[in-house]
Structure 1
Amino acid sequence: MLSVHSLVKTFSVDGSELRAVDDLSFDVPCKEVYGLLGPNGAGKTTTLRMILGLLDADAGYAEVDGIQTAEDPIAVKSRLGFVSASDGVYPWLSVREMLLYFADLYAVDPHVAAERAEHLSKMMGIEKLLERRAGSLSTGQRQRVTLVRGLIHDPPVMLLDEPTRGLDVVGVQTIFEYIEHLRDAGKSVVVCTHRLDEAERLCDRFGLLHHGRLQNEGSMDELREQTHREHLVDMFVDLMKTEAA
């Protein structure tokens, strides 16, 4: 459902070239949660921005549901849902108004949008918030609204960028349950995070990203065989030790 082929992105920083994403390739089929993991600055968010069509790749391409981002960015956006740590709610709209507004942006039939908003709100436990102004919600409530908003157009592919940042234990558990729902619904899911302990609980396969390059990829059993380490944290510590040597 999602394929990334040899993506490259460089930036000019203080007169020198920084390659933020370096020949990156991976695939995420339906019903799989793929953890694109790495420390800050590894290239995770830059990769998501290229998939979303917000950044042009210097080389390579991303393909969503058979459509390349560079060829038809509007069609690709309609097939993607995106959730980040920044909630970006519209404070003067009610939760219901905001959900229906985003559904309209994706050309969802109004009757379908209304039914979907009710169903998703019940699933995420925000049905009592639908008539409240989004600006009056707590951090955890806003995050739940954002999760519903990301699914309002029923996209086949979901991208989650640091979805648990700033959340308490209850909020983190909500994210875990949400990702289980996405998997059960047959969606392709990419989770970008540097919270490696959480990733071990969430993801089916992993791509370990360091300085824009995919260093290791596979299930936890496959990564353990490749690295001879038990946990993701230890694998990344070894990568950074190798760099420092």
Structure 2
Amino acid sequence: MAINTTPALEADGLVKTYSTGRGKPPIRALDGLSFAADAGTVFGLLGPNGAGKSTTIKILSTLAKADAGRATVAGIDVSRHPARVRKAIGFVAQKPVSDPVDTGRENLVLAGRLQGLSAPDARARAAELLDRFGLGDAADRQVKTYSGGMARKLDVAIGLMNRPQVLFLDEPTTGLDPEARAELWAEIEKMTRIENMTVLLTTHYLEEADRLAARLAIVDHGTVVARGTPEELKNGLRGDAVIIELAPDSDPAYALAALANVEALREIGADGRTIRARADLGAATLPQALAALELAGLPVASATVARPSLDDVYLRHTGRTLSKAQNHALENAS
């Protein structure tokens, strides 16, 4: 039997520009973005707010049209057959989609009916999902009485009512506490492992991308700057990460100059008082780095050696850490 190698999701050179009005230049949200995702896997789009992740999902789910490029979902051309795409997908947006004055059960049944299920099938599917997400005891309570984690689980359940081939999760755990986030992670893992569903996950959480994504693309300013499995991306950074937190009265510029004399260090950079560098043998190089800073009269608050992280990958390809990029995006949005 021939193996189907057609990607469950494919974006090829997507471009999307938004007019800002008021005489301001347009914003290019996507600038030739391309990736492909295999069926039955979680594919992650990792990047800060404003990187183009949500715009990508809107185009793939037919909520927006690309200015250029091509996209397919479940083998269906998005621009040519949007109605077919909508039948094949589930979509969980960043903002809540449930009606707070209706009960959890009523929200699910309504979603099922809107998606073409018969009344008995909608009720049966709703009961199945309420039990699966641990919402059975709260099924007949108004959603406005739900905790944040319960409401988010309901949003995901609504996205699953039509048993989609592909599920879009746009920043699904933003604002959740650690326990609720872990519970939702476990459900996302089940979707691919048990149901062979394809999940496109957008996130700015490094741990979330590292744990859930079989493959991921790092997105910056509307384009993919790196792609691969989390391990491939981290292993592409040779050596260890050396991270030094300077004391408040230490000048980062002087610290960079002092560390430039440590031959074993490379890719030295500063993010505020945090100095990051790479070394083939981090444990052996760290004492040399600390000695150089001490000789320069620069006190250190803390120092660590670690294997490469996705934040190191993001820093390598964009020139800044993901947390710094996220904070900058939030400041611009406020």
Q: Which runs of 5+ in 1 are unaligned?
A: none
Tell me what 1:224 maps to.
Answer: 234
Residue 241 (1) aligns with residue 319 (2): yes
Distance across 1 between alignment mates of 2:154 and 2:231: 35
Contact 1:197-1:233 within 8 A present in 2 as well: no
Contact 1:89-1:135 within 8 A present in 2 as well: no
Tell me what 1:207 maps to.
Answer: 217
Of the three residues 136, 150, 158, the one matched with 1:149 is 158
Distance across 2 between alignment mates of 1:27 and 1:122: 33
Residue 132 (1) aligns with residue 210 (2): no
- Partner amino acid for 2:121? V
Tell me what 1:178 maps to.
Answer: 187
Q: CA deviation at 1:180?
A: 0.9
Q: SS of the residue aligned with 1:25?
A: strand
Tell me what 2:13 maps to.
Answer: 6
Correspondence list, 1:52-67, <5 A = 52-67=61-76
Larger mean Cα displacement after TM superposition, 111-120 or 147-156? 111-120
Larger Rg: 2
Contact 1:85-1:166 within 8 A present in 2 as well: no
Q: SS of the residue aligned with 2:202?
A: strand
Percent identity at matched positions? 34
Q: CA deviation at 1:225?
A: 4.2
Tell me what 1:105 maps to.
Answer: 114
Query: Across the two proteins, how many residue pairs are aligned to each other?
Result: 243
Residue 193 (1) aligns with residue 203 (2): yes
- Partner amino acid for 1:67? I
- Partner amino acid for 2:216? F
Tell me what 2:82 maps to.
Answer: 73
Of the three residues 18, 32, 37, the one matched with 1:23 is 32
- Partner amino acid for 1:202? L
Q: SS of the residue aligned with 2:319?
A: helix
Tell me what 1:35 maps to.
Answer: 44
Distance across 2 between alignment mates of 1:238 and 1:64: 31
Contact 2:226-2:317 within 8 A present in 1 as well: no
Larger mean Cα displacement after TM superposition, 222-231 or 232-241? 222-231
TM-score, normalised to structure 2's length?
0.69
* Cα deviation digits, residues 149-208 of structure 1 (max 9, x gap): 110110010111111111001110121111112112101111101111221011110101
Using CA pairs under 8 Å that are at least 6 residues apart, name the structure with larger relative contact order, 1 or 2. Answer: 1
Q: Which runs of 5+ in 2 are unaligned?
A: 1-7, 240-307, 321-334
Q: SS of the residue aligned with 2:137?
A: helix
Q: SS of the residue aligned with 1:41?
A: coil
Distance across 2 between alignment mates of 1:79 and 1:174: 25
TM-score, normalised to structure 1's length?
0.93
CA RMSD in angstroms comes to 1.8
Q: CA deviation at 1:129?
A: 1.4
